[in-house]
Structure 1
């Protein structure tokens, strides 16, 4: 194509390109999406990531329970939690969400009634305050109400009535809920959980000090034959330098059986993976076992430096704590029991401990001599029975079998140094075997280092530890060996019932011929139906004692309340209670020698249920008068005794009549239907 022919096309192309450039330069840019949908910025321009100095979080219903996060240079502290270090990433993420708050206007709520529709009243909303380094009031305070839907939440600024809808629900982000027990934010949610850093590869020595022993591990270099080059090579005369290899030795007991050296590496690795669950302050040293620290781990490095870690236990609450020496602030971090026991390991993880071998089928008799009394078990076929103490109570067969099973499967989990103060072994279990031999297990106080109990096997001097679970199985409370439903009063055999307690006084007797009950309640005559007596006996027979003490006699109880039962065969049973002591009542049973204790709830139910007999007062008078009239008309002779109007000769089938206030018609009399003779 000739140049003259191509030139017009080139001019047109340039013109078109120029037109496109002109249109784009004059086209308006679209507004930001927040502006398009009408979102309003809720954060003042003065509040930025660099100027924000403090965050306070609280529920309006409990403003005193605040979470306070305070900036310290580039880090964050939890002021409300002993100034513990906060998780910087978690706090920074939360602050980013605060600064990004933009809300869609939804309503105006200018009074408490309207604000309540959104759960945005001051005393019910969740408050988020952002503070500058200077200023007597927060630079921003946002109140979060109930969720608008599963993605959004109602929010307003403090002191303002305009209600917005926001995507970021900072109440949830802070770990609080709209209802239930988690209304208040928790300070430990923000806790920096990564505690320690130990370079396990450069550790030369590890010392673990327990309350009852000490373990020292040394790293030793293995001697290895140098490798020489193959003959004929240029460097055949120069031996190759091998890589250094190490092994761990137990310095405190070089001759220990089956030392498990790999466990030392596991301990050292564990330091860097332990995470904190909560934190305790300096004023809680006593309860955390840090006054002084009960456990110490000293990690010595090849370069001569060392790190020291302390440990402690709150035995009552089963909580475990660790602390690195020299850390500021000086806090004790709560860790999981499993993690604690991975650092301060039980002895069985380090060395092999003496074994207790016992064949369950060869057991014949078990004698347990305990501070609270002696218990003797004897094999009875495939079961076990208690032959001492001899108590007229149902025995718990499953628990008795459990003792024999636990004795046969017993294992030591730890040990103590011979010089350790493990206190006296005050419990002895003697096990008679079918072949006439005897095994002996001596048990003492709880271990100071692990969750278990000190023991000795047979005549050995070694102080070992068995687990708490095994201890509880072989030495359960004596009360757990018996059923403590101590009362079994058959209604068909009961002929007399007397109950006395404070202002309650019930006295009942059953007529041997008619089976009718009659007597008094608080001095007033009553004639309750048999069903009322049976109902109360159900309460009586369901009653359970809480425990009993073999070393104290029931005669020690000074009776303040009693239940008395007379049976048809003349047997007289009496249950007596003393005065209340710390929510318990000491009790005695006339047919058992030892002293019992009952919980307050069981005691109160036993006596409260006799109030049902008070209702019998309303009907007894009418019932007795009606019966007297009918039987008198039939020619019977009626006399009055202490229990009310009772026929002297002819029997009458008694019925319960409704009270006058019930509005019901009285049923026809049942009994002798013959006409009465006319006067």
Structure 2
């Protein structure tokens, strides 16, 4: 190649590098852009919606309120999370697609004064952000323009659905503001005048117990876990809707007569009291229950199911667990059902299957399955408590449909016995009588418990590794995209040690 040609090519290469290094990623000359004032969440003081929706949200102290601009004297507590969502969505409005600047087309995109949704976000002394939102854009998102301008843009983001709400949708639906961990005492009062007090210990475990002097039925075992769940439900109590006017009157809700209530006392001495209104008739189906928080004039509507979870009585805190051991302290486990018996014994830090002495050909014992079965046994709960006296003969305990014996370090043995079928099972199911050494009561459990125990030694058998089809592919994944299938197969091989 001639020297002049080489010099020309070199000069061209240098120029090309300079052009690529200095050019803008996108040509911006002549392109319409939507430029908004920078938003600072900490400085936002108000959101004003007018036009297609009407609501004004203002920051007052540490919280937010929402009002109807036509009724500024009636304020409601607003959900701060919804305000935050709007601010975050505004931050996502970057470089929307320009559509048109013709003023006569604003009505077509519902961005005119008649149909547009006007949004003004005030932020202290900084410039406000003002937009008008129209109808949904053709390819998703929404058409919008800057207030006072005619340039129409298409924004594919979540801004529209974060602001297009009715006034009541901005309101805070959480009835109480408290942390379940900071509740130290719960007092449940029934409309019949009964009172139940639950106390939480000040220890790290935070165990719940019945207040001293509480009269409980013979053999009653209290469930700290049920009390903790109750505290969590109360702390997360959320309304379905709100009642106003005559519908919120005490005579309409039942809050003016004897009613159920729940009082939570906090570690700092404060208390929160929730009052529950009249229980709807069963035929009313999806009807709601009125509720009011002491010190708050608002009347809320709770789903019947939610209200029922708060109308607890002493019997609802009964521990229905059938076995209560610490898995790490178990030294021996015996399972007997369906003519099969299996016994596993801990030797040192490992488990050994000692019965049956002769195992089927190909049987491989898996010590990890012992831990699995112990966890399942510890989680067993009675479906219901059998009322009245039930003799061993009536329950079929002597003949035994199934037996579980758990030996704990130190020699203590816990036993679960299953007997005959127990009448009265709900929904056409089948239940068996059950007795445990934890108390002297009789329970009913689903027959599935016996069926599982009837596997005997199979409970502790090693399960086969996932089977791979020819070519190293896992069966059942053929319909997945090739790259996804390869990743899943590689992960499964890594977890199972399969080559």
Q: State TM-score, norm by structure 1.
A: 0.36
Highest RCO, 1 vs 2 (Cα 8 Å, sep ≥ 6):
2
Based on CA coordinates, which of the two structures has the bigger radius of gyration? 1
